[in-house]
Amino acid sequence: MANELRNGAFDMLDPMESFFGDFGKNFTNTSKMKTDVIENDNNFEVNAELPGFKKNDIDLDYRNDTLSIHAVHDLNKDQKDKDGQLIRSERSSSNVSRAFYLPNVESDKISASYDGGILKITLPKEAKDKAKHEINID
């Protein structure tokens, strides 16, 4: 529930979107990375879709109980004719980031992999002392 509140539940309050409607989407950054956060007994699993990005373009950070994902992708394409004359030049850039509050994680045991445009991050939870501590009443 905490992740839902922190990660996008307030998107409907974006003043640019409510004022401009669909037209405003052309001027605001609406390209969020699609992400699944799954909580298991022993860990959190985060799966983020980042198609077209290279592994070196992705930065991960975990501090203050928050996982941050940031990715930047710049693409420059030039098309030349048979004489080497420039016919067309196109440039595009993608800059996406997300942050998730995931408490009680063993930060030194976090692992991540990136394959086929999917970033998979496993964040093991800290072991909790499940032993009961009984207190005698005098």
Supply the pLDDT for residue 131.
55
| Beta-carbon contacts of residue 28 (< 8 Å; ≥ 6 apart) | 14, 16, 17
Neighbouring CB atoms inside 10 A of 120's CB total 14
The domains of the chain, with CATH numbers, are 1-30 (no CATH), 33-124 (2.60.40.790)
Supply the pLDDT for residue 45.
97
Which phi and psi angles does 26 have, rounded to 5°? Answer: -70, -20
| Per-residue pLDDT of the chain in tens (138 residues, 90 and over written 9) | 344 434 444 444 444 444 444 444 443 344 578 999 999 999 999 999 998 889 999 999 999 999 999 998 777 777 778 887 777 777 777 789 999 999 999 999 999 999 999 999 999 999 876 555 667 787
Helix, strand, coil share (%) of the chain residues, nearest 5: 20, 45, 35
